[in-house]
Every structure is written in C-alpha cells, then in structure tokens.
Amino acid sequence: MWRRRLSLLSDLPFPIRRPLPVTRPPSISIAPLAKALKPPPPTAAVAMAADFSPIGIFRSSYSGMAMASSPATASLLSLNDLRDNKGARQKKKRKGRGIGSGKGKTAGRGHKGQKARGTGKFGFEGGQTPLRRRLPRRGFKNPFSLTFQPVGLGKIAKFINAGKIDSSELITMKTLKDTGAIGKQIEDGIRLMGRGSEHIKWPIHLEVSRVTVRAKAAVEAAGGSVRKVYYNKLGFRALLQPEWFAKKGRLLPRPARPPPKQRDRVDAIGRLPAPTKPIPSTTEEKDATAAA
C-alpha cells in the first residue's frame, strides 16, 4: 500500500515541499511584536529534518492536499480506500449455530422459564385479573341503531337553480347521490332537514328515509310532497348502485317490508328500480294517473 502511494508521489508533476512547522504565535497584546515575529527555535528545525523520511513526506503532503492548502495539490483518495466508520456495520446475530458462536443451544435465552419459551397470550398478566376485566363496563352499542345523512332544503334548491336537479321529476335518494348533493358515504338513508326552507318557491316531490317537521311543512306549503320510504341494506344498495347487480348478472331484489318497530316511522315501501314519478296520494291524482 505504501509502495503504491509513494509511486503516485513520484509521478506528480510538481516537487513536494516540506511544510513549515506550525507554531502558535503568542498574543501581540501581551508579548512585544519582536517576540511575536521571532523565528522558530532550532529544535523545531531538527524535528523537521528528522521527519524527512518517505513516510513523513507522504504524511505531510497528504495532509496538505486534504486541507487544500494549494490549488496545485492533487487528491490521493481512491475508491478502493473508501470504507465505513468503525462500528457502522454490524454482523447479523446468528442464533442456534453451534456452541462456538456463543448463541447456540439456548440461543441466549437461558435454561427453562417463561422467558425461554414462546410468547404468552396477549393480555395475560401472570394469573392475576387482567386489566380488561378489572375495569367496569360503560354503556352498550345498539345493534339496531340507524345513521341517516342530513341534507337541507336550501342545498336542494341551489342544485335545482343550477340545473343539476329536475324539479318536475321525483327527487329520490339516488338523485341526490348522483348529483353530488350528498356524499358517497351513505349508511342507512337520508334525513331531509329544514335548513334553507325559505328558498323553496315551487312544488317539489321527494322520497327520503326521514324528514323533519319543519322541512315537511315547508315543502307542503309550496305545493309539493315528501314521502318516507323504507329500504333494507340490500334494497338501499340496489337503489344507489343498480349497475352492480347487472355487472354480476343478478336480478334486483324485491322491496322488503319494514320491521314492526319501523312501520309507524315510514309511509311506504321503497320501490326498485329508482322511480321517476311520485306515488299519487289523492283521488284526483290517481284518476289523472289512470287517465294518462
């Protein structure tokens, strides 16, 4: 290695000069200027002459090049000299590879005991009552609860004025979803709210899961109607995504009847596929529908 580096030094186009010894000058404020500019003592010159050897030449020249003391210096660092710092790379711990490795047989776990065996059951605390049983229970989760996404009359009126919803046709929950009046994360249905009811100036007909008293009064005052319809999980999916059943080669499910506890909260059973005309409620409307 030293031979290769010395050969590189011999091929340099410029002579290698011995660096002057670096001495720390005393403070000018304390010592006189003459002492500050005093030449180095002869002991330093002797040490410099003693350091004039092949190894010393390489060390001095290499340090000067590394510090970039002159623009004519050349770097002697090559790719084969690059290596990581000590301790940067550690060998993988290989367990159970014989007694000579120091991690054979018991692999550093010792003899017997709970820690020498496999992991225990999650939450096991050695036989005492675990935390999940020490803490008391609070409340319950109702498996029959329903979550309805709210939508206001003001938002529906805004979409009607923008031309996204046709007020002459029946506005169903599929219409509200397709036009973007409500989000895509619909769980059990839609609840019609009375927010912005003053913007309803014309009759509209809607079919939703639930409706507030204020919203129903505002729609009926404008000459429209609101009907609460029931869909189960499968029927509600068929209402919003009928193309999914066609893609799977399945028929649309038949409308399901509401359970006994919800019969008083709905007006009718939801129709499939999504209807476009409201169900006539009065005798005059039934006669007009039959005549058409």
282 pLDDT band, cuts 50/70/90, is low
Nearest to 190 by CA among 244, 153, 219: 153
As a residue count, the chain comes to 292
What confidence score (pLDDT) does residue 196 get?
92
Please tell me whether the overall predicted TM-score, pTM, comes out greater than 0.85 for this model. no
The H-or-E segment that residue 150 falls in is: strand 148-152
Please state which of the ranges 52-61, 103-112, 152-161, 260-269 shows the lowest mean pLDDT: 52-61
Pairwise pLDDT comparison (19 vs 169), residue with the higher score:
169
For residue 253, count other CB atoms closer than 10 A to its CB. Answer: 14
Q: What tokens does 72 get?
A: 């004519």
160 pLDDT more than 60? yes
**Reported confidence tier of residue 38, pLDDT bands at 50, 70, 90:** low
Contact between residue 258 and residue 204 where contact means Cβ atoms under 8 Å apart: no
Between 174 and 119, the more confident residue is 174
Sheet of strand 210-211: strand arrangement: 148-152, 189-193, 210-211
Mean pLDDT of all residues in the chain?
Answer: 80
3-class DSSP assignment, residue 181 = coil
CB 48 within 8 A of CB 21: yes
Between the CA of residue 51 and those of 48, 181, 201, 255, 267, what are the distances in Å? 5, 88, 103, 102, 106
Average pLDDT (200-207) is 92
pLDDT tens figures, 244-269: 999 999 999 998 999 998 999 999 99
Say if CB 218 and CB 153 are below 8 A apart: yes
Instruction: Look at residue 130 and tell me whether its pLDDT is greater than 90.
Output: yes
* Rounded Cα distance, 284 and 292, in Å: 12
Say if residue 1's pLDDT is above 60.
no
In 3D space, the residue among 176, 205, 208, 170 whose CA is nearest the CA of residue 189 turns out to be: 208
* Three-point CA angle 240, 209, 272, nearest 5°: 40
Cα 127 to chain centroid, rounded: 39
The pair of structure tokens assigned to 243 is: 């193309």
Token pair 């005093």 in the structure block, residue: 38
Token pair 């990581």: residue: 84
The helix-helix angle for 153-161 and 213-221 (nearest 10°) equals 40
Q: How confident is the model at residue 280 (pLDDT cuts 50, 70, 90)?
A: low
Q: Which two tokens stand for residue 45?
A: 């010159």
Q: How far apart are CA 249 and CA 65, in angstroms?
A: 79
The answer to whether the beta carbons of residues 192 and 210 sit under 8 Å apart is yes
Residue 185: which pLDDT band, with cuts at 50, 70 and 90?
confident
pLDDT above 50 (res 28): no
Provide the angle, in degrees to the nearest 10, between the axes of the packed helices 54-66 and 2-10.
70
Nearest 10 degrees: CA dihedral of 144, 145, 146, 152?
A: 160
Residue labelled with tokens 């059973």: 269
For the segment 92-108, what is each residue's pLDDT rounded down to a tens digit? Answer: 999 999 989 889 999 99
Cis peptide before 275 (omega within 30 of 0): no
E strand or H helix that includes residue 213: helix 213-221
Least confident of 74-78, 109-113, 139-143, 194-198: 74-78
pLDDT band, residue 31 (cuts 50/70/90): very low
Please calculate the CA angle 256-168-158 and round it to the nearest 5 degrees.
95
d(CA 209, CA 212): 11
